[in-house]
Amino acid sequence: MIRLGSRRSPLALVQAHAVAGALRAAGHDVEIVEVVTTGDRDRAAPDKAKWVTELERGLVEGTIDLAVHSAKDVPGDIPDSLALVAATEREDPRDVLIGARSLEDLPEGARVGTASLRRAAQLLATRPDLDVVEIRGNVDTRLGRLSSAVPAHADPVDAIVLAAAGLHRLGREPEGVSPLIGPAFVSAPGQGTLALEARADDPAIAEAVRAVHHEDSWVALLAERAVSGALGADCTSAVGAHCRRIGDGLTLEGFVGAPDGSGWVVDIQEGSEPEALGALVAERLRRAGADELLDAARAESDIPPGPEPHREDRPE
């Protein structure tokens, strides 16, 4: 029996059931174990680890055997006793605008809701006139904030930005959905991919997850995580990275922006070794001014520069 740990949110459970179904089709018995994470209790908690801490603790303590995460939620630092062991085939990694036919169609000063610092930076870099406001909650809660769906007194927004992958997995098809396209719109590292985490010394699980593993998505994930890791990205960072396989090689885009959209840098490089390519893109972003943008964002948040602290004891 494989005990598969998942957050309790509707999207997380849809993702967990998809993984469980693939494992069962390969002949494995699977039990889904629902886990409440810090992020479920307090979405405003600043640390990115809020979505994974309790799941990793379950792995360390042996109450679950495998954890399924949205790969974009997994911090760069993983406890030494654990490892990412597989990635599922990637869904559409793009962000989408909901509520208007395109970003250009929004009127000046329109209110756009997002919970992502990266998305806010990219929106303001492209349309500095927008009023970008923070909205939290699950996908349906955020969709409910659109002006057409709520009474005027309920603080509506004119449009929201969400991940296309989450909408697709939940089967949501709201009106007025358009992908955000442009040089600044680089998705979050791992967006659209599910990452599976297990104990590093569990060969049976490592063998079982081959049933759901997608090698191209895994390679892209390694490259994208290498960008954020080399930049020391944390919860204050507006960082994007997106890798694609083209022919026999890889193409990797990177983005770093100021949260207010006042400055941003991008780079795109080709290569064949994902982690080396990620390190190269990160270094080129640094040369273009990424460190200054990241340090300014940290200073505004009163968080010291540098990578996330090592979380040896911390077992989305």
Contacts made by residues 165-172, CB under 8 angstroms, sequence distance 24+: 165/90, 165/91, 165/92, 165/93, 165/191, 165/192, 166/11, 166/139, 167/96, 167/139, 168/91, 168/92, 169/11, 169/14, 169/15, 169/18, 169/91, 170/10, 170/11, 170/14, 170/139, 172/139, 172/140, 172/143
Amino acid 4: pLDDT: 98
Average pLDDT, the chain: 89
Catalytic residue, from 50, 57, 119, 199: name it: 119
**Residue 24 annotated in active site:** no
**Residue 235 annotated in active site:** yes
66 compared with 142, residue with greater pLDDT: 66
246-262 confidence digits (pLDDT tens): 999 999 999 999 999 99
Catalytic residue, from 94, 235, 244, 284: name it: 235
Catalytic residue, from 48, 90, 118, 225: name it: 118
Catalytic residue, from 40, 47, 65, 73: name it: 73
Task: Assign 153 a pLDDT band (cuts: 50, 70, 90).
Answer: very low
**Residue 48 annotated in active site:** no
Amino acid 125: pLDDT: 97
185-222 confidence digits (pLDDT tens): 999 999 999 999 999 999 999 999 999 999 999 999 99
Catalytic residue, from 142, 145, 199, 225: name it: 142
Domains of the chain: 1-88+193-213 (3.40.190.10), 95-179 (3.40.190.10), 214-307 (3.30.160.40)
Strand partners, 2: 30
Per the CB < 8 A criterion, the answer to whether 4 and 29 are in contact is: no
Q: What is the mean pLDDT of residues 102-121?
A: 95
**Residue 50 annotated in active site:** no
Catalytic residue, from 48, 50, 57, 72: name it: 72
| pLDDT > 70 fraction of the chain, expressed in percent and rounded | 88
Task: Assign 108 a pLDDT band (cuts: 50, 70, 90).
Answer: very high
Cα torsion 58, 55, 305, 253: sign = positive
**Residue 119 annotated in active site:** yes
**Residue 142 annotated in active site:** yes
**Residue 169 annotated in active site:** no
pTM: predicted TM-score of the whole model, two decimal places:
0.89
Amino acid 175: pLDDT: 82
Secondary structure, 3-state, 37-84: CHHHHCCCCCCHHHHCHHHHHHHHHCCCCEEEEEHHHCCCCCCCCEEE
Catalytic residue, from 8, 41, 136, 210: name it: 136
52 compared with 274, residue with greater pLDDT: 274
